[in-house]
């Protein structure tokens, strides 16, 4: 089974390092037409989307989604859905330097990066990113294509909705809900529920939508 990395920018570079650390190297990188390959492509064949479909058939290829960052989680999800519609399987990666405790449930398409901690009873859905050094405590639920950024902490029984962002170094208090598509600013302290689509910043976090 071949493995192809979608995207070649900064996040893709981290994903490539995590996969290689886990003994799962890539056979190629796929980049959008007209986009100059980024650092994640070093030393690997670079294919356009049409070339990928021609060279690596769906039944013999696993794709790993390296799209994130400036493109946003909606763009990341759109890329995955486009390839899934063509019959490809999107798989994730768990960096061996992460701590994933027994009793947690990580979807096969999620990404858990170096230094992250996921405690018992936590669930992480398809396409979600638990970034470097993030902590997901017991009984939390991280929705599909949500992003828990580097150094962020979800205390016990937090729910993060689909496509939401918990920014770098933010802390979300126990039992709190971050609604779908919401954005929690870097370093914020969330002590009450965040409505879907809202942007909250500060200590304590306040709605700045």
* 31-76 pLDDT per residue, tens: 988 788 999 999 999 999 999 999 999 999 999 999 975 557 888 8
At 170 the pLDDT is 98
* Domain identity same for 18 and 104: no
The pTM assigned to this predicted structure is 0.95
* Domain identity same for 115 and 186: yes
* Domain identity same for 120 and 31: no
Domain assignment present for residue 203? The answer is: no
Residue 183 predicted with pLDDT over 90: yes
* Domain identity same for 6 and 52: yes
At 152 the pLDDT is 98
What single string gives the DSSP state of each residue in the chain?
-EEEEE--SHHHHHHHHHHHHTT---SEEE--TTPPP-GGGTTS-EE-HHHHHHHS-GGGEEEEE---GGGHHHHHHHHHHHHHHTTPEEE-EE-TTSEE-TT-EE-TT-EE-TT-EE-TT-EE-TT-EE-TT-EE-TT-EE-TT-EE-TT-EE-TT-EE-TT-EE-TT-EE-TT-EE-TT-EE-TT-EE-S-B-TT-EEETTTTEE--
Instruction: Grade residue 209 by pLDDT with cuts at 50, 70 and 90.
Output: confident
* Domain identity same for 99 and 191: yes
Domain assignment present for residue 205? The answer is: no
Catalytic positions, please? 138
Instruction: Grade residue 107 by pLDDT with cuts at 50, 70 and 90.
Output: very high
Range of the domain at 176: 93-198
At 36 the pLDDT is 86
CATH code at position 50: 3.40.50.20
* Domain identity same for 111 and 171: yes
At 69 the pLDDT is 58
* Domain identity same for 41 and 105: no
Domain assignment present for residue 51? The answer is: yes
Domain assignment present for residue 176? The answer is: yes
Residue 196 predicted with pLDDT over 60: yes
* Domain identity same for 73 and 112: no
User: Of the candidates 91, 126, 161, which is a domain's last residue?
Assistant: 91
Number of folded domains in the chain?
2
* 14-42 pLDDT per residue, tens: 999 999 999 999 999 999 887 889 999 99
* Domain identity same for 97 and 194: yes
At 71 the pLDDT is 55
Average pLDDT, integer, range 100-129: 97
């Amino acid at each position: 089974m071949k493995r192809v990395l979608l995207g070649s920018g900064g996040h893709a570079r981290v994903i490539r390092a995590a996969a290689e650390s886990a003994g799962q190297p890539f056979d190629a990188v796929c980049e959008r037409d007209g986009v100059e390959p980024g650092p994640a492509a070093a030393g690997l064949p670079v294919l356009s989307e049409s070339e990928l479909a021609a060279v690596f058939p769906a039944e013999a290829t696993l794709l790993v989604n390296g799209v994130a960052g400036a493109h946003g989680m909606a763009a990341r999800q759109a890329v995955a859905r486009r390839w899934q519609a063509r019959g490809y399987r999107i798989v994730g990666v768990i960096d061996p330097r992460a701590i994933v405790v027994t009793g947690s449930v990580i979807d096969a398409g999620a990404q858990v990066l170096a230094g992250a901690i996921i405690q018992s009873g936590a669930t992480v859905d398809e396409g979600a990113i638990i970034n470097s050094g993030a902590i997901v405590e017991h009984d939390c639920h991280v929705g599909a294509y949500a992003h828990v950024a580097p150094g962020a902490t979800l205390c016990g029984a937090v729910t993060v909705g689909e496509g939401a962002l918990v920014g770098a170094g933010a802390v979300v208090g126990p039992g709190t809900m971050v609604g779908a598509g919401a954005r929690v600013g870097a370093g914020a302290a969330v002590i009450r529920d965040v409505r879907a689509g809202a942007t909250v910043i500060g200590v304590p976090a306040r709605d700045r939508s």
